[in-house]
Structure 1
Amino acid sequence: MTDAESTGRPRTAYVTAMTLDGFIATDDHSLEWLLSRDIDPAGPFSHDAFMAGVGAIVMGRSTYDWIERHREQTGEAWFYQQPTWVMTHRPLEPPAGADVRAASGDVADLHPRLVAAAAGRDVWVVGGGALAADLARAGLLDEVIVSIAPVTLGSGAPLLDGHAELQLMDSGVNREFLCARYRVLPTAP
C-alpha cells in the first residue's frame, strides 16, 4: 500500500515502459521499439485498469509531439478523455475536441491544478524522465510503475533524469514485459 492509498488521496504516478537498458525513447524520441512488443491489455499491470482510475494527465512536449506524429500516421483520434497538460515553452495547437492545455514553468506549481482536475482520481505522468524527476525532487511523485521490454537501445531518453530513491511494492510478468511498481521515497534536498 502506498502513502497515497493509505491516506485515501489520489496518486501521482509515472507509468511508462522502458528498455532493459533504462530508456523510454530513442535519441529522436521514437517509441517504435515498444509498438512491436506483445502485452496482454487485461493482464498483470494492465494499462486499461490503470487508466480507469486516472483523472488528469501531464506529459512533456517530446511525448506530446510523438503522440501527434503517431496519430497523424495512423489517423487515430486523441487517445485520452482526461484533461491533459503538456509542459512546453513553444506554442501548442491542441487536437480538435481534446482537452489539451499548454503549461510552462515549474511542474510543482502546476501540480495542485492537476490534482484538482483529477477530482479524486489519479494523476498520470505520461512521459518525460525529466518531468517525472522534477516531480520526484519536489516530493510530489508517489509511484513509478514501469514495464521493462526485452530490448536495448544503447542510448536515448532515460527513465528518470536524475536521482530518485524507490521501494519495490509489487512486480509481475505480462507476456514480454517484466513489470514493477515502486513507491518514491523522500530524498534529502
Structure 2
Amino acid sequence: MRIRTHMAVSVDGYIASPDGLPTILTAPDFESGLSHGLPEFIAGCGAVVMGRNTFAPAVGSSHWPWPNLRVFVLTSQPLPEGTPADVVSAADPAELLRLMREADFTGDVHLVGGQQTIQAFRDIDALDELGVVVMPVLLGDGLRLTPDKSTTTPLQLTGTRTFPDGSVEHVYTPVRGQN
C-alpha cells in the first residue's frame, strides 16, 4: 500500500482559487472523474483518504464520488450525519495510517484533499508519491500546495506526461532521509 496524490496545481503553485474552487476546474475540457489521467490513477487504488472539509460535501450528494473504494477521513470532529457505516476516521494521522494498513483492500491509497491533509501525511513520512497535474493557468492567489514555512522535502521525478489542454502531470517520490 502506497499513499499517493493526483491533484491539479496552477503554474504558480495553487491548488484552489481564493474562493475555494479547485484548480482542475480551470480546464475547459475537464470531466469529473474522466479527464487528466484520473481513471488510470484510480485503477491502482483501493482506498481514498482525505480531511473532513473534502469529505463532508459528498455526504448526501446524489453521486458518491468513491464507489468501490474504502474511505478514510482525517478529522477530530464527528463525521456528518448520513456518512456510510464503512467510512473510517481518526484524528491522528499515524492512527489513521495504522487503520488503513489493517483494512481489507487491495491497491494504493489516493490522498485526496487539501494542504492540511497532505502536510499531515508528510509530517509522519507517509506520503509515498506526489502526483501533480500542472494546469496552464496563473491564479495569482488562493490555497497553496504547501503551507507557509513547511519543511523542505527533496523529490525525485519518476514520471511525466502531457495532456491535450497543455497541462502536464509530474509524478515525484520523496527522497527519504534528506529533509
- Separation of aligned partners in 1, 2:177 and 2:114: 20
Which residue number in structure 2 is paired with residue 52 of structure 1? 43
Q: How does 1:1-189 map to 2 (within 5 A)?
A: 10-31=1-22, 33-37=23-27, 38=29, 46-65=37-56, 67=58, 72=61, 76-81=62-67, 82-93=69-80, 95=82, 97=84, 99-105=86-92, 107-117=93-103, 119-161=105-147, 162-163=150-151, 164-176=153-165, 177-187=167-177
**What is the CA RMSD across the aligned residues, in angstroms?**
2.6
Length-normalised TM-score, structure 1: 0.77
SS of corresponding position for 1:127: coil
Preserved CA contact (<8 Å) 1:24 1:157: yes
Segments of 5+ residues of structure 2 without an aligned counterpart are none
Q: Tell me the amino acid that sits aligned with residue 175 of structure 1.
A: P
1:124-159 per-position Cα deviation (integer Å, ceiling 9, x unaligned): 111122222222232211100110111122222221
Length-normalised TM-score, structure 2: 0.80
SS of corresponding position for 1:15: strand
Preserved CA contact (<8 Å) 2:158 2:173: yes
| Count of equivalent residues | 172
Segments of 5+ residues of structure 1 without an aligned counterpart are 1-9
Preserved CA contact (<8 Å) 1:172 1:179: yes
**Could you say which structure has the higher helix fraction?**
1
Deviation, structure 1 residue 57? 1.1
Deviation, structure 1 residue 24? 1.1
Q: Tell me the amino acid that sits aligned with residue 137 of structure 1.
A: D
Deviation, structure 1 residue 18? 1.0
SS of corresponding position for 1:108: helix
- Separation of aligned partners in 1, 2:175 and 2:129: 9
Preserved CA contact (<8 Å) 1:94 1:101: no
